[in-house]
Amino acid sequence: MTKEIQLTQGKFAIVDDGDYQRVIEAGNWHASQDSRDGRWDARRSFYLANGKHKTLLMHRFILGLDFSDPIQVDHKDRVNTLDNRRQNLRVTLNQNQQNVAKRKHNTSGYKGVSFHKITGKWSATIQAKGKQIHLGIYLTRELAATAYDTAALELHGEFAVTNQMLGLSVGMMQPCAA
């Protein structure tokens, strides 16, 4: 059973029935939109005894983590980040950044793809284990997206978010000579 919690800006957070009362008693929650990807989250702000301002995300609160805990929490579905039911949350290590959608300021239209000005072609890159990996230069952005998708599945496994998963069509992979 789930319940909705009214947030600001006309948004609602979804929580499990068993977490509802504790979340309500924690204070006033508001909706906040991430400027990088446009996704929403539920959070509350407060001041510590020393006067420092802090923010606590609802999904971290539900899992018993405070703002200072380095453990990361991920929304499995990536789509509705206001869905804070336990079945949609997972504790991650460095996998959290693998489970992100295309950034809203992306100009190629594909995750992991950018225009390579020197060659006038498309470059594919991916982040893995804290390092950026160059996947090649491609004639089209669709081919570069396919290269990204292949690498994401191989390197990120269950945490992979591919262009295809995001509903973006991609072509067959054919790298070009650089």
CATH number at residue 116: 3.30.730.10
Distance CA 168, CA 178 (A): 26
Does residue 173 sit within a domain?
no
For 104-163, how does the pLDDT look when each residue is reduced to its tens digit (9 = 90+)? 567 788 888 999 899 999 999 988 877 889 999 999 999 999 999 999 888 887 777 788
Angle at 139 between CA 133 and CA 144, to 5 degrees: 35
Same domain for 69 and 131, yes or no, is no
Last residue of a domain, one of 72, 92, 112: 92
Same domain for 154 and 82, yes or no, is no
Amino acid at 140: T
DSSP letter at 144 equals H
SS3 content of the chain, % helix, strand, coil (to 5): 25, 30, 45
Residue 138 structural domain: 97-159
Distance CA 92, CA 69 (A): 12
Same domain for 11 and 50, yes or no, is yes
114 Cβ neighbours under 8 A, 6+ residues apart: 107, 108, 122, 123, 125
For 48-52, 67-71, 111-115, which range has the lowest pLDDT when averaged over its residues?
A: 67-71
For 146-159, how does the pLDDT look when each residue is reduced to its tens digit (9 = 90+)? 999 999 888 887 77
Does the model's pTM come out above 0.75?
no
Does residue 71 sit within a domain?
yes
What domain count does the chain have?
Answer: 2
Q: Is residue 170 classed as helix, strand or coil in its secondary structure? A: coil
Confidence of residue 65 (pLDDT cuts 50, 70, 90): confident
User: Which of 26, 18, 20, 22 is CA-nearest to residue 4?
Assistant: 20
Half-sphere exposure of 79 (CA within 13 A, CB side): 4
Same domain for 76 and 104, yes or no, is no
